[in-house]
């Protein structure tokens, strides 16, 4: 499987080396967005300063402070550009740090994130362009981003293993990746202990063909525009990764997923779900970025490390979190 991020990053690095040889200026960070998908390409230059010996106002004086200029791409106007003021001039590439390549090969996402210094360090490494081995497209990773502009890679991806989560009120198709199922049980236990009701889970993993059927039904019922604000096209649904579920509240009787918003359990999940690695993916007011109507019931697993950074940063979409362009519609 070809990694589109890797090839683009290699070209960017080669260009950067040529620019370093001719210019003392910091190369601006750029995001390049192509019709076939997204390559998050960062070209960061180490500030070319004068060596410490003989530098500054006196021999052995401090090196000049690095500075950076960030220009927001036109399509990113809805998402504030990151502020890189005060960032160190030299950053060790995440992919060169000990154990990262092995952790990627073994599918140990937590170890990769730990090598970056935690969730915020990982996020910044991706945005800053010092993580060329990290692709946001590969659906097997907890950091994958799936939206109307970024289809699943590969398009017919299926998780290696999935199971109904234990310790929850399970409805139809309550299946998630086996390795993350215990996190739902832990979250359900904590919510129950907090007295906000029992967590119900349904509509977890859906394969390509199942999503194709659901998408066709919604479009037939509501028309293409309204139908596609509720149901993703096959190959563009987070459910296909087995990292997303629809939830409902039981206290003691169970409501539907559509009734989840406004419940005490829903409010608790918004405030505490990140502790268990879960975020509300489609919040109210962010349709221009996500392309979907609000779904308080649609939870997405990104892991507790990224979840902590997501919560601490006050983010509301994964597009904002990783500095990606808004994806209100399909590219074709």
Angle (CA) 239-244-248 rounded to 5° is: 110
Question: Cα(37)–Cα(118) distance, rounded to whole angstroms?
Answer: 27
Token pair belonging to 78: 């809805």
The pLDDT value recorded for residue 44 is: 32
Does the domain at residues 162-321 carry the CATH identifier 3.30.1380.10? Answer: yes
Q: What is the DSSP string of 208-271?
A: HHHHHHHHHHHHHHH-HHHHTTTSPPTTS-GGGGT-EEEEEEESSSB--GGG-TTSHHHHHHHH
- The tokens for 311 are 């919560």
Closest CA to 31 of 40, 44, 20, 18: 40
- Domain ranges within the chain, ordered by starting residue: 4-128, 162-321
Predicted confidence at residue 332, as pLDDT, reads 77
0.85 surpassed by pTM: no
pLDDT of residue 35: 34
At 8 the pLDDT is 40
pLDDT in tens, the chain (332 residues): 333 333 444 444 444 444 444 333 333 333 333 333 333 333 333 333 333 333 333 333 333 333 333 333 333 334 443 443 444 433 569 999 999 999 999 999 999 999 999 999 999 999 999 999 999 999 999 999 999 999 998 999 999 999 999 999 999 999 999 999 999 999 999 999 999 999 999 999 999 999 999 999 999 999 999 999 999 999 999 999 999 999 999 998 999 999 999 999 999 999 999 999 999 999 999 999 999 999 999 999 999 999 999 999 999 999 999 999 999 999 87
Q: What is the pLDDT of residue 38?
A: 34
Non-local (6+) Cβ contacts of 167 within 8 A are: 184, 185, 186, 188, 189
> Half-sphere exposure (CA, 13 Å, Cβ side) for 47?
14
């Amino acid at each position: 499987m070809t990694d589109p991020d890797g090839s683009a990053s290699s070209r960017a690095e080669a260009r950067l080396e040529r620019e370093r040889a001719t210019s003392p200026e910091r190369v601006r960070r750029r995001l390049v967005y192509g019709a076939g998908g997204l390559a998050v390409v960062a070209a960061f230059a180490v500030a070319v300063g004068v060596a410490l010996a003989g530098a500054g106002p006196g021999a052995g004086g401090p090196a000049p402070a690095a500075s950076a200029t960030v220009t927001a791409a036109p399509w990113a106007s809805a998402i504030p550009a990151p502020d890189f003021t005060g960032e160190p001039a030299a950053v060790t590439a995440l992919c060169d740090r000990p154990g990262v390549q092995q952790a990627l090969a073994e599918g140990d996402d937590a170890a990769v994130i730990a090598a970056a210094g935690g969730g915020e360090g990982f996020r910044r490494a991706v945005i800053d362009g010092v993580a060329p081995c990290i692709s946001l497209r590969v659906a097997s990773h907890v950091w994958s981003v799936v939206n109307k502009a970024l289809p699943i890679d590969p398009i017919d991806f299926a998780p290696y293993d999935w199971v109904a989560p234990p310790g929850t009120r399970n409805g139809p198709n309550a299946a998630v990746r086996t390795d993350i199922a215990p996190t739902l049980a832990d979250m359900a236990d904590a919510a129950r202990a907090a007295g906000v009701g029992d967590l119900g889970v349904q509509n977890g993993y859906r394969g390509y063909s199942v999503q194709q059927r659901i998408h066709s039904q919604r479009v037939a019922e509501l028309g293409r525009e309204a139908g596609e604000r509720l149901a993703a096209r096959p190959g563009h649904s987070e459910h296909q990764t087995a990292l997303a579920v629809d939830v409902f509240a039981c206290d003691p009787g169970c409501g539907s997923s559509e009734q989840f918003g406004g419940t005490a359990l829903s409010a608790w999940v918004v405030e505490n779900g990140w502790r268990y690695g879960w975020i509300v993916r489609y919040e109210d007011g962010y349709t221009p970025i996500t392309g979907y109507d609000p779904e308080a019931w649609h939870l997405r697993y990104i892991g507790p490390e990224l979840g902590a950074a997501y919560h601490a940063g006050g983010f509301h979409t994964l597009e904002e979190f990783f500095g990606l362009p808004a994806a209100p519609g399909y590219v074709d």
